[in-house]
Amino acid sequence: MLYSRLRHWLKPFTNTPFHPQWLVFREQPATLRTVLRWANGYVLDVGCGNRWLAGKFESSNNYVGLDYPPTITQGYAGHPDVFGDAAHLPFRKSSIDTILMLDVLEHLQSPESALEEAAKALKPGGHLILQVPFMYPLHDTPHDFRRWTIEGLRQLFSSYNLKIVEEFVYGHPAETAAAMTTIALAKGGLEALLKHRISMLLIPLIVLMIPLLNITGWLLGKALPADPFMPLGYRIVTEKIG
């Protein structure tokens, strides 16, 4: 319950360096641009969570959010249009134009089954738009099972009729390092508060350090050469063949 309240309290600071996940959330506009560039027709948002994409599409598109009932217990406020399992999609074969799986695949016990279901449900030429974290803390546990490299994702998709048409690595190493540190500090401060440890006296210092680390990571990311060895995550667009 406290984590849900903390999310609510921090929401006004989402787009500011005072939020521990500011460098992570900065990727959201780029994610939206990718989705709007490729998504069309009947759009199924698997693992829709807070439904942040609802209302972003042209009126000619039909957005449907799908999620699994336990998601609600993780503090998400969204109300899916359909309750369902990504490994058993309640849709006819070749009936969907676009499927979104944004920060979802790592939470599935059987990601292979989910991709197989997505490939079946997509129309020929339809798109699956997927985003997964790479260097990011465990979250929504116990429903957090794995991380992939870009090579691992390519190998995963090679087993299905899904051709990669666009892939993007996001998160400069300096930004990744800063984001991991700010999240770790915020989590440590919260745990100290919950357990009434004397270390909770460090919370004012943590509050000061978070924006400093965020801004430093962002500036270093601008100044230093880009390198994909330590990303926050990956975003991939695939197209169904045949």
Q: Which domains does the chain have, with CATH numbers?
A: 28-172+228-240 (3.40.50.150)
pLDDT in tens, 129-174: 999 999 999 998 999 999 999 999 999 999 998 999 999 999 999 9
Rounded (5°) CA angle 132-233-126 = 45
Q: How far apart, in whole angstroms, are the C-alpha atoms of residue 133 and residue 53?
A: 18
pLDDT in tens, 22-78: 999 999 999 999 999 999 999 999 999 989 999 999 887 899 999 987 665 555 666
As a residue count, the chain comes to: 242
Q: What is the pTM of this model?
A: 0.92
- Token duo for residue 172: 């400069």
Consecutive H or E run containing 101: strand 96-102
Torsion of Cα atoms, 54 then 57 then 60 then 63, to 10° = -30
Q: How far apart, in whole angstroms, are the C-alpha atoms of residue 146 and residue 132?
A: 10
Consecutive H or E run containing 127: strand 122-133
- Token duo for residue 2: 């406290």
